[in-house]
Amino acid sequence: MCNLYNVSTNQDAIRALTKALDRLGNMPPSQDVYPDYPAPIVRNNDGERELVMVRWGMPSSRKALLDAATKRADKLRAKGKDVDFDELLKMEPDGGTTNIRNTSSAHWKRWLGVENRCVVPLTRFAEPDPASKVDGGRTPNAWFAGDESQPLMFFAGLWAPQWESVRKVKEGLIKADLYAFLTTEPNGVVGPIHPKAMPVILRSEEDIETWLTKPWEEAKALQRPLPDEQLIKLAN
């Protein structure tokens, strides 16, 4: 699961590949992006294509939140406390889902249309590398890029407007625009490090246009591994 990536580029380069209106403000020259933090995306919104900052992590499924709230309610009841389950469910924290694999799920189908598609700029992404872990230490990351120069690429993503949820307990109930990107089976470069999945990456203007403009039956063909020759594992 990819939960860290880097964007080291400029807005001109993103606009040149995506033909988006720039509504971003000032973008830092390099940004490590972590879950639930804002990052630049290019999205379809009200018939326009725009470059904006959006928070990483699409809404989790109702079942996931229901299961979490049920466990919380059971613990409270075990302590002899009264539980308003509807209120508990409404306020159940949801840090968001960062990676989307099963696009046939009913949870994701509502966002598969062109109006909820986006592309997410990146120059490299990380996957945990357990084989490099030293006893007692943290699991280090392996980093992947298009080549040694770390050219601009894009994840194929989905976004949701003004979703109401509790992202963090201290924030309470809020509304926010959210995004996440698709994953697929890994290619031969990522597979030795992370055998379960890799992000769906778009490297050509044609693929970007297909993802942002074509019906789902055509766009879904892009949920595939990037060819091995278009990705490298960066040296540590």
Paired residues of 128 in beta bridges: 141
Band (88; pLDDT cuts 50, 70, 90) = low
Tokens of 113: 């249309």
Distance CA 33, CA 45 (A): 23
For the stretch 112-144, pLDDT in tens is 999 999 999 999 999 998 878 777 678 899 999
Is residue 68 in some structural domain? no
Q: What pLDDT does residue 45 have?
A: 94
Please, what sign has the CA dihedral across residues 12, 18, 22, 25?
negative
Residue 206 has pLDDT above 90, yes or no: yes
Residue 71 domain-assigned (yes or no): no
> Confidence class of residue 200 from pLDDT cuts 50, 70 and 90?
very high
Segments forming the whole domain that contains residue 151: 5-59+94-233
Does residue 146 surpass a pLDDT of 80? yes
What's the pTM value of the predicted model, to 2 decimals? 0.91
CATH code, domain with 14: 3.90.1680.20
pLDDT digits (tens, 9 = 90+) for 18-56: 999 999 988 999 999 999 999 999 999 999 999 999 999
Domains of the chain: total: 1
Residue 31 lies in a domain: yes
In a domain, 192, yes or no: yes
67 inside domain: no
Residue 159 lies in a domain: yes
Q: Strand 21-22 and strand 48-56: pairing?
A: parallel
Q: pLDDT category, 78, cuts 50, 70, 90? A: confident
Domain presence at residue 89: no
Give domain status of residue 121, yes or no.
yes
DSSP string over 15-73: HHHH--EE---PPPSSEEE-TTSEEEEEEEETTEEEEEEEEE-BPPPHHHHHHHHHHHH
